[in-house]
Structure 1
């Protein structure tokens, strides 16, 4: 870019620019690719998979709708619509919060857990093929730490 560099900020090196552009492309392409693989192999979206996975990892398979929305990086209204769809398939049940009459919980059903287990091999193969097959000998612990640090600054 030909704009003047702000005072005290070093311009990006060619290598840094390449990394920044590759990360930008990855943020667009990878979610679409993982979603495509789940839709093709399981007729399930990545968002649906994420809801079932997060519920399966929670205590008693239950989460407040607001917490589930946050865990899945969705708005509460988006989560409400998705939970209604999953409920219509029998994968999730929505129940009133015992300690807060205004709140709702999402609960993973046995059918939902079975559906997650059915979809998991497809998702695992997709993640291996689209991510880990390309990382070679990279130090995965350092990579995860760096990516989490980047995400934490957002």
Structure 2
């Protein structure tokens, strides 16, 4: 493997900052969602792409890829959301092994009700802490990091 190239102070500060911010920010935003809308972060995570999809329908496999979740996590979360009436599962007409996830009227009502407060919290705790120049840098920088990461298949 060769000699380890340790992080310098600048690199370590950036890394530690990200590692510290991500779970705390996620927890704050999840508490806000539960308090204001009665939705978990997982529910909100799936409702967003479904609400943006044509006819509010996505193949479960595609939904999982969009949010970066494994098949079992998607399956379990969809079952929980189906019990709450937020989504409905349907057979896939193209492939009997696949399933479709449809946003229900209750799911659409939930996301429409939750989105304004969630966006306000994102603006308060994330966007509002950054300058315009930092926003211009951080978005593309995080996209580059994401592109380097292996997909679910390794």
State whether residues 87 and 103 of structure 2, in contact with CA within 8 Å, keep that contact through their aligned partners in structure 1. yes
Kindly indicate whether residue 103 of structure 2 is the aligned counterpart of residue 113 of structure 1: no
Q: Which deviations, in whole Å up to 9, do the C-alpha atoms of 1:1-43 show, x marking residues without a partner?
A: xxxx927x4x433222211110111232222221121112222
State whether residues 86 and 103 of structure 2, in contact with CA within 8 Å, keep that contact through their aligned partners in structure 1. yes
Is there any run of 5+ residues in structure 1 with no aligned partner, and where? none
Counterpart pick for 2:63 among 65, 68, 71: 68
Q: Which deviations, in whole Å up to 9, do the C-alpha atoms of 1:52-72 show, x marking residues without a partner?
A: 111011122111111112222
TM-fit CA distance, 1:139: 4.0
State whether residues 47 and 72 of structure 1, in contact with CA within 8 Å, keep that contact through their aligned partners in structure 2. no
Q: After superposition, where does 1:3-152 map in structure 2 within 5 Å?
A: 6=3, 9=5, 11-152=6-147
- Report which stretch shifted further, 108-117 or 66-75: 66-75
Is there any run of 5+ residues in structure 2 with no aligned partner, and where? 150-154
> Between Structure 1 and Structure 2, whose CA radius of gyration is higher?
1
CA RMSD across the alignment: 1.8
1:93 is paired with a residue whose SS is strand
Matched length: 148
CA distance in 2, matches of 1:28, 1:152: 21
Normalised by the size of structure 2, how large is the TM-score? 0.87
User: Closer, same or farther in 2 for the Cα pair 1:102/1:137, shift >3 Å?
Assistant: closer
